[in-house]
Amino acid sequence: MENRKKLVLVGNGMAGVWMLEHLLKLAPQKYDITIFGAEPHPNYNRILLSSVLAGGADMNDIIINDLDWYREQGIELYTGDAVTAIDTQQKQVHSASGKQVAYDELILATGSSAFILPVAGADKDGVIGFRDIKDCETMMDTAKQYKKAAVIGGGLLGLEAARGLLNLGMDVTVIHINEHLMDRQLDRPAGLMLQQELEQQGMNFLLGKRTVELTGKRRVTGVRFTDGTAIDADLVVMAVGIRPNVELAATSGLRVNRGIVVDDYMRTNVPGISAVGECAEHRGIGYGLVAPLYEQGTVLAKRLAGIDTPPYEGSVTSTKLKVSGVDVFSAGEFQDSADTRALRMQDDIDGIYKKLVIRDGRLIGAVLFGDTSDGAPLFSLIKSGESVQGREKELLTGQPAGGGATASPLQRLEAMADDEIVCGCNGVSKGAIGEAVIGKGCNTMKSLKACTKASASCGGCAPVVEGLLQFYAGDNAGVAVKEGICGCTSLDRDEIVSEIKRMGLKTVKETMNVLGWSEPEGCSKCRPALNYYLGMLWPGEYEDEKESRFTNERYHANIQKDGTYSVVPRIYGGVTSPTDLKKIADVAEKYNVPLVKFTGGQRLDLLGVRKEDLPHIWEELDMPSGHAYGKTLRTVKTCVGDTFCRFGTKDAMGMGIQLEKAFERMDAPAKVKLAVSGCPRNCAESGIKDVGIVALDGAWELYVGGNGGVKIRAGELLCTVKTDEEVMEWTSAFLQYYREQARWNERTAAWIERVGLAHVQEVLADSDTRAALVARLQNTLSYTSDPWQNIIQNDELRKNFTDLNDSAALAGTSPSAP
């Protein structure tokens, strides 16, 4: 396999990660990727912070890529660990925590910081910017204790922050140095209309004011102005602009003006280093809006993938205000000048304002207030530069120049060109939306957003997207079509399994080809599912495709947030021996394992293990893996039962060990946890396990479908049996039926809720059916062995382990079929 280059991304924000998503689609196997993020969070949508403040979303709603996504893509992610230095000679980055990572390609996406006015008192408690989740949390916490807030800056961000603080119950005053709001996006008439609307919502405004001091002792208590006036304030939010984060680049020898200087392909002056996003300066311009940053990211991703691409030549920008009850749109050049002609329409009764700016017969700017439905088509005309001569009145009023009826919203949507961009944030055209609705059956906003990302960022284009959904879907709009296991196929789990059996399909790639996957290489959702279904259907014949497993399963250890791993050896039923304890202690000491912890499953967890030490640790432990990382049997929790407890009625430890040895290495649709309690006091928590066994006087009760995680579910009584052999028989039959019938990634709790306990009881009531299920499970288990034993016993595999795992194709990419 070709050696992959090392790519390091400094910055875990929207621009950099969006570029990586694009690169992974174009060249999924070209780079080993490491990301350093200064914030302790995965990638999130900074545009929607105002929605979090306003109460329309919570923190989880704005996460773009959760931690599982990084693992599935094989990306090493270091959160809360800023890069502090770049060695451009050795091609290494150094982080605040002391990590040193080599690179072949380095991408700087360090973003920007809120500009804090250099006035007296700006360092006091209660003075913040509005740029990240921490700022949001500070505002929400402050609103619980204080009531008066001042927002300095009457631009886009300042008004969004002010609206959020109003929703939090604070008394808000917006302070702006100029005479009307959003003066960088709106002309005076639109700015005054905006002010009137926001005053009705409860905002206070001080315009033409210059701040000179923030008063108070340790915490801010007020704002004083150059004219001698002042106001009280318990919280001051600075929203007066952004400052590109260029310190790292400047100290590393990169050319820096206001931002990091890049060429039309996002290259800096240092070979092997590129920059993208708010930190970059292109042709003297730095952009703070997401659409231009995505355009930059597209060019950079194509160049890194080795694909020819036109250069990035700059962007025409548009903005929308995300404040409840206010519709504002601005694009291009909106101010009058000697060489332009401005057309205006103002309706103070309905609160509607429209201004078009034309130069040499071409539309160069637009301002809309109150009704922004024309924003997308006008923006498209501005970007295209086509002549609008003779159509000026139609563009302004919506009426044809020769008279006649005004075009309906549906007619206006129909008249849009297919290549007209609807979602500027994500570059989604009208044609792409039509293809998703007609070709892929995305008949709901949820499915359309997932398929195209239209309206998934700022949400400003949602009305147009909804209109196009109605236009293309007609009566089917809002009606969800049958969804497949992922976006690559319309086939559901049952259809896929049936076709695999009917046609005797034996590999992941063959299955995707024959069943007509829309994405020929699949994705991180369907590849692991197909790998499991094939292994479940053809035990002994199907060769497990390691490349289609998640990162944890490929490394046989749980990756932690700092990039180290967690190793959990098998300890049957929580019962161990002095010999095994000594092995664990010796290994932990030899390899400087930072932490050894008892788990909730009665085992020992070695935390903080380096990847390169994993093969040696497993060899020296010489113990089976506890599969704490896998979709398989995790643990069998036990109490001491009648061996020691005076309340115990049966040997819980013995039964637990028997179950654990019987089912270890059993692949399943999701993780499986068992427990055995020696009496109805249920000390092993058997009532919230996938299978929980409770001893009675002379009998065993079997509970199934329990879950103790985020969604707690009590197990339901499957049956009551008398002998240990019947426990094993019913448990085996239940687990195999679950293996054969459940969807990929579906826990027993969700499966039981979906199919019903009565159905499972009816199936398992037949003794012949139980015997057949038990036989199939035993046949499957006869082909399994502990994966680490294979590595330890095979010198070549062991020698190549690190290279093999480092270069393995990521789940969702294109490995060779087995």
How many residues belong to the chain? 818
Statement: residue 720 has pLDDT above 60: yes
Give the CATH superfamily of 626-785: Sulfite Reductase Hemoprotein, domain 1 (3.30.413.10)
| The pair of three-digit structure tokens given for residue 331, joined into one six-digit string | 């694009």
What is the tens place of the pLDDT at every residue in 286-331? Answer: 998 888 888 899 999 999 999 999 999 998 877 777 666 688 888 8
pLDDT score of 801: 39
Q: Does the pLDDT value for residue 268 go beyond 90? A: yes
Average pLDDT over residues 446-450: 77
Average pLDDT of 726-742?
95
Average pLDDT in the 597-616 region?
84
Instruction: Give the range with max mean pLDDT: 253-257, 381-385, 390-394.
Output: 253-257
Neighbour-count burial for 296-315, b at 16+ CB within 10 Å, e otherwise: bbbbbbbbbbeeeeeebeeb
Second-level CATH architecture of 127-240: 3-Layer(bba) Sandwich (3.50)
Mean pLDDT of 7-31: 93
Mean pLDDT of 5-9: 97
What pLDDT was estimated at residue 805? 38
The Cα 322–Cα 158 span in angstroms is 11
Span 562-582, pLDDT tens digits: 778 888 888 888 888 899 999
The Cα–Cα gap between 728 and 661 comes to 11
In whole angstroms, give the CA distance from residue 675 to residue 682: 9
Q: What is the mean pLDDT of residues 342-346?
A: 91
- Which amino acid type is present at position 736? Q
Q: CA separation (Å) from 632 to 101, 238, 671?
A: 34, 51, 5
Element containing residue 654 per DSSP (H, E): helix 652-663
pLDDT at 471 over 90: no
Round to whole Å and give the CA distance between 200 and 202.
5
| Residue 810 pLDDT > 60 | no
CATH superfamily of the domain spanning 546-623+813-818: Sulfite Reductase Hemoprotein;Domain 2 (3.90.480.10)
Beta partners for 261? 281
Residue 463 has pLDDT above 50, yes or no: yes
Task: Name which of 7-16, 393-402, 530-539, 772-781 the model is least confident about.
Answer: 393-402
Structure-token pair, residue 170: 């604070």
430 pLDDT tier (thresholds 50, 70, 90):
confident
Mean pLDDT along residues 63-72: 87
Q: Helices 724-741 & 757-764, crossing angle to 10 degrees?
A: 120
CA torsion 278-282-287-291 (nearest 10°) is -100
Chain centroid to CA 53: 20
Residue 271: other Cβ atoms inside 10 A: 8
Residue 489: beta bridge partners?
Answer: 486
Predicted pLDDT of residue 85: 97
- Model confidence pLDDT, tens digit, residues 492-515: 888 899 989 888 999 988 898 888
Residue 477: HSE in the Cβ half-sphere, 13 Å Cα cutoff: 14
How far apart, in whole angstroms, are the C-alpha atoms of residue 507 and residue 493?
Answer: 16
Closest CA to 574 of 668, 648, 641: 641
16: pLDDT confidence band, cut at 50, 70 and 90? very high
Mean of pLDDT over the chain: 86
Residue scoring higher pLDDT (800 or 638): 638
The pLDDT of residue 482 is: 58
Query: pLDDT class for 809, splitting at 50, 70, 90?
Result: very low
Beta bridge mates, 107: 9, 274
Beta bridge partners of 7: 33, 105
For residues 414-418, give the mean pLDDT. 74
Query: In angstroms, rounded to a whole number, what is the distance separating the alpha carbons of residues 786 and 586?
Result: 22
- Taking a C-beta distance cutoff of 8 angstroms, is the pair 678, 649 a contact? yes
Across the range 78-86, mean pLDDT stands at: 96
Average pLDDT of the residues in 419-437: 78
Work out whether the CA dihedral 293, 294, 295, 298 comes out positive or negative: positive
**How far is residue 330's CA from residue 728's CA, in Å, rounded to a whole number?**
69
The pLDDT score that the predictor gives to residue 476 is 76
C-alpha 205/C-alpha 182 separation (Å) is: 13
Tell me what the mean pLDDT of segment 114-124 comes to.
94
Could you tell me which residues come within 8 angstroms of residue 558 by beta carbon, excluding any fewer than 6 positions away? 552, 565, 566, 568, 628, 629
C-alpha 58 chain-centroid distance: 14
Q: What pLDDT is attached to residue 788?
A: 47
pTM of the model: 0.61
Q: Are 582 and 569 in contact (CB under 8 A)?
A: no
Q: What is the pLDDT of residue 785?
A: 65
Closest listed residue to residue 322, CA positions, set 68, 553, 48: 48
Q: Write the class of the CATH domain 5-111+244-305.
A: alpha beta
pLDDT at position 816 over 60: no
The share of the chain scoring above pLDDT 70, in percent, equals 91
Nearest to 745 by CA among 583, 533, 542: 533
